[in-house]
Structure 1
Amino acid sequence: MLTNFLPLIGDALIETIVMVAVSGFVGALAGIPLGIVLFVTDKKSFLPMPVLNITLGTVINAMRSVPFIILLVAIIPFTRMVVGSSIGTAAAIVPLTLSVAPFIARMVETSLREVDKGLIEAAQSMGATHLQVVTKVLLPEAMPGIVAGLTISVISLIGYSAMAGAVGGGGLGDLGIRYGYQRFNPEVMWTVVLVLIVLVQGLQSLGDRIVRKLSHK
């Protein structure tokens, strides 16, 4: 009986990968610059802007404090305006991106804080501009931590994408709820769980491998 659902499981896996990949990529494009701004504008950093830092930090903290399932429902009008629908894979990407971007921002900020301040001071003493300090010192030194943070963020997205299935978001979560739970097919439910576990383990192993290579450099 389970073999009848294998094509559906394959399609759902592809939908999940698309949701996580797109939202993770867009979230990183927004979150990494936000994390850099949070770090460099801190009052103890080299480009202090307290008002901007506090305002941006407050907005990011507010977004992070909203549970994903509530965010998913609360921004349905915005999601519908952006993609033209409130259900499906494309619709799930919007709340997924909004949920992961502030998380990545804080991860990046934390990684940058771990960079030896002596390296920053040495670069400044040699006449490096603020942009050069960020691109030539901060980001290369913090890259292992940033990659580790991105790995955690992507794995969190997998869980969020499964949660999005509760409101018709598509992917493995949607399949598990509709065919596993609502139609009383525990084989489908446990297969979905197993696929999610394998996916998470694979991503974590890949992230750890990249971090080790970057650390050796």
Structure 2
Amino acid sequence: MTREESIQKALTRYPRWRVVDKPDGTVLVGSIVLSTPSGQDFRFRMRVFVPLDFPHSDAHPTARVMKHNLGGNLGADAHMGLDGTLCVQMPERHQVNYREVGLSGFLDQVTLHLDRARLYAFTGRYPGEAYDHNDKGRRQYQQELPQLLAEYVHRRDALIAHLPMSLRRYADPRVPLLENRAWCPCGSDTRFGDCHRRGLTQVRMRVAELGEPPRPLIPAGLRNPFTPRRRR
């Protein structure tokens, strides 16, 4: 999905949003409305910035709340910067695969964040898992990273344990799958399409559901809007 396709797809969900092209990217301005079961609406006036190199994995969009009707001020405890910028990229394992889900996937995460901010406004507690901001939050994640990676590997290994060793590398959805007419690597002298293709495809789908493996944070402060970006 290209950058332009991603933006246009997002605009089908928010057709009233205004689009402004700038030298360093595209700005989208509009409202996200959250409706509660009781029928009450909470409106957030948003400014979303999409950088020029989106959907590169490190070209993160940013979302800023310019105005809301929650009453009172939302701050760092609600994972919102002083200028209204949402901290939606921490922890690292919650990152969005922009090439697959595009800008719509990022806006889904923003909407989830806004709903948590709404709950914080009424309860004084941020619901769900959260890390601290800035370097403290990054250190927390780095300390948990070995355990997170071990858990991911354990779940993945449980999914591929029944596959022959020669086929396990193909359980990774990023590895191209063999053609049907190719001989199956299991050594059965059978075409892949008639041998392990069906079972391996199912395993690849289940591995894909695990998401990307946890990765170390990049050194630059690109994933956390509470960390100032360096000027290029």
* TM-score, structure 2 as length reference: 0.24
Which has the larger strand fraction? Answer: 2
Whose Rg is larger?
2
